[in-house]
Amino acid sequence: MKNSEARAVLAAQLKVRRELSYGDLAKRIGEVENFEVTAASGVKYQIEIQYFWDAQPRGDIRVLGSVDDSGWRAFVPLCEDFIRSSKDGSCA
């Protein structure tokens, strides 16, 4: 697995979710999305996206994404996340 390619694949998926409103993300709390993406190189990556309250219900929302290539990296996937603020809707 090329780490740079895997990070780019995950970043693209998280970018789509960063564009969602606080309300849209709140509707997904507790959901886990699992899907496969084929990169330009032909490598297939497994993506998992989770949505949960960061500290308390109705507070900030954390969106956590992980990526692996179904090889040994599945045991230690690359992860990235962001937090959507409940106060002003900004992302951190």
Q: Which helix (H) or strand (E) holds 3?
A: helix 3-18
Which residue ranges form the domains of the chain, and what is each CATH number?
A: 3-84 (3.30.1300)
Predicted confidence at residue 1, as pLDDT, reads: 67
Angstrom distance (rounded) from CA 38 to CA 42: 6
Q: DSSP per residue over 35-83, as a string?
A: EEEE-TTS-EEEEEEEEEESSSTTS-EEEEEEEE-SSGGGGS-EEEEEE
Question: Is the model's pTM score more than 0.75?
Answer: yes
Q: Give the model's pLDDT for residue 86.
A: 85
Q: What span, in angstroms and rounded, lies between the C-alpha atoms of 71 and 32? A: 21
**Residue ranges in the chain whose pLDDT is less than 70:** 1, 92
